[in-house]
């Protein structure tokens, strides 16, 4: 299965561009996807996305920034100080009581899926099916050019372009965060079908209880 944090850098010139972190203690997560177009300038955005997400893990999960926007702004400032080149999309999430706070820049995204609960006694034994109750939307300037945070001072998008959401969630909901590599290749109903199978066979990690506590 995929690692829950940052793998060791491979000893190759190519560095993975798609990375994520999950912090169970704070109910927070992040996904970053280095923009491949930078390779035309001789830049591998994998280092850029990796470093930004490492700083985000520090500001959002460890330092518990007051908001995702504040955490990302601080992380991006640290990245600029590092002098890394490239561009990346980023999506961040964190549980705030009963609500899931989300921030998205670019064409990565988040789905929240929920199993339908059969209320009729005669229907309770029937198979439950997950449905999508929330979906973020991709941000792109034009085809294959997503909004991005980058080292280009004149061409980078800013935090003002970020989409932010507060999503009401329930115990048992599944939060799916991924890059365009997921959402460009699977329809929402296909993802919901996969989620249905998983949710029926596995007990989900509980980030919030029925009273909204983490």
135-151: pLDDT as tens digits: 999 999 888 789 999 99
pLDDT exceeds cutoff 60 at 11: no
Has residue 212 got a pLDDT over 70?
no
Once rounded to an integer, what is the mean pLDDT over residues 168-177? 92
- Quick one: pLDDT at residue 19? 87
Tell me which residue of 160, 17, 23, 170 sits closest to 89, measured CA to CA: 17
Mean confidence (pLDDT) of the chain: 84
| DSSP one-letter string for 106-141 | SS-EEEEEEEPPP-SGGGTTSPP-EEEEEE----EE
> So what's the pLDDT on residue 204?
57
Give me the DSSP letters along 26-52: TTEEEEEEE-GGGGGGT--HHHHHHHH
Q: For the beta carbon of residue 39, count every other beta carbon within 10 angstroms.
A: 15
Strand intervals (E) in the chain: 18-23, 28-34, 87-96, 99-105, 109-115, 130-135, 140-142, 145-146, 149-150, 163-168, 174-178
CB-based burial, 118-129: b 16+ in 10 Å, e otherwise: eeeeeeeeeeeb
Rounded to whole angstroms, how far apart are CA atoms 132 and 119? Answer: 19
How distant, in Å, are the alpha carbons of 16, 111, 132, 200 from that of 129?
A: 34, 15, 10, 9
Question: So what's the pLDDT on residue 154?
Answer: 85
> Mean pLDDT, to the nearest integer, of 13-41?
84
Residue with tokens 């109903």: 189
pLDDT, tens digit, 9 for 90 and up, residues 82-127 = 988 999 999 999 999 889 999 999 999 999 999 876 555 555 555 5
State how far Cα 29 lies from the chain centre: 6
pLDDT score, position 3: 34
In this predicted structure, what is the pLDDT of residue 124? 52
Give exposure, 46-74, as e/b (b: 16+ Cβ within 10 Å).
bbbbbbbbbbbbbbbbeeebeebbebbbb
**8 has a pLDDT exceeding 80:** no
Q: Which of 74-83, 118-127, 174-183, 196-205 has the lowest mean pLDDT?
A: 118-127
* pLDDT above 50 (res 133): yes
């Amino acid at each position: 299965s995929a690692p829950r944090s940052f793998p060791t850098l491979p000893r190759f010139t190519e560095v993975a561009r798609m990375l994520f972190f999950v912090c169970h203690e704070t109910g927070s997560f992040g996904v970053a996807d280095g923009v491949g177009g930078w390779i035309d300038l001789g830049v591998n955005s994998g280092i850029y996305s990796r470093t930004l997400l490492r700083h985000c893990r520090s500001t959002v999960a460890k330092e518990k920034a007051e908001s995702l926007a504040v955490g990302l702004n601080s992380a991006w400032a640290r990245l600029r100080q590092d002098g890394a080149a490239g561009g990346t999309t980023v999506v961040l999430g964190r549980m705030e009581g009963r609500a899931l706070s989300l921030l998205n820049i670019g064409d990565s995204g988040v789905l929240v899926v929920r199993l339908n609960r059969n209320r009729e006694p005669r229907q309770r034994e029937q198979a439950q099916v997950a449905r999508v109750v929330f979906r973020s939307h991709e941000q792109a300037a034009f085809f294959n050019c997503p909004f991005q945070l980058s080292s280009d001072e004149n061409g980078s998008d800013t935090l003002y372009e970020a989409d932010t959401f507060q999503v009401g969630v329930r115990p048992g909901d599944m939060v799916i965060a991924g890059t365009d590599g997921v959402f460009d290749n699977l329809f929402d109903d296909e993802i919901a079908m996969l989620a249905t199978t998983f949710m029926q066979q596995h007990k989900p990690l509980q980030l919030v209880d029925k009273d909204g506590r983490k």
